[in-house]
Structure 1
């Protein structure tokens, strides 16, 4: 799942379920969310990522992607437990 939030509401979200394709599905989902919301990636001010519980590979893909976005955009990355 990828979503964009403006601090008050969800602007757009996208969710796909396929336990074997986490890495293939995440970045296209981010692209779709940004396009639907009409927001450029450079305008993102923070990244929030689920820290579990969840499937190990899915968590690694999400955490690595969030960290990369945080570094590339120079924005904070926040972990969120989904319990």
Structure 2
């Protein structure tokens, strides 16, 4: 089955980008963020709540794409949109 790679929803802040699962390079923690406006949330379920959004600039901004096993370990695979 195909799916949108690490995409969990459409951004409610900017209404222009996808919210995707991403990983902080230094801490290795997963979170979700919008690549357009760079808003971020701690958990995919929080991403629909504008008031819970933070900014990637609140961290050092060092991010990378997580591996599928890392996403599965956090049990976040079910949040990824499927076609």
Query: Scaled by the length of structure 1, what TM-score is found?
Result: 0.28
Greater RCO, CA 8 A, separation 6+: 2
Q: Which has the higher helix share?
A: 1
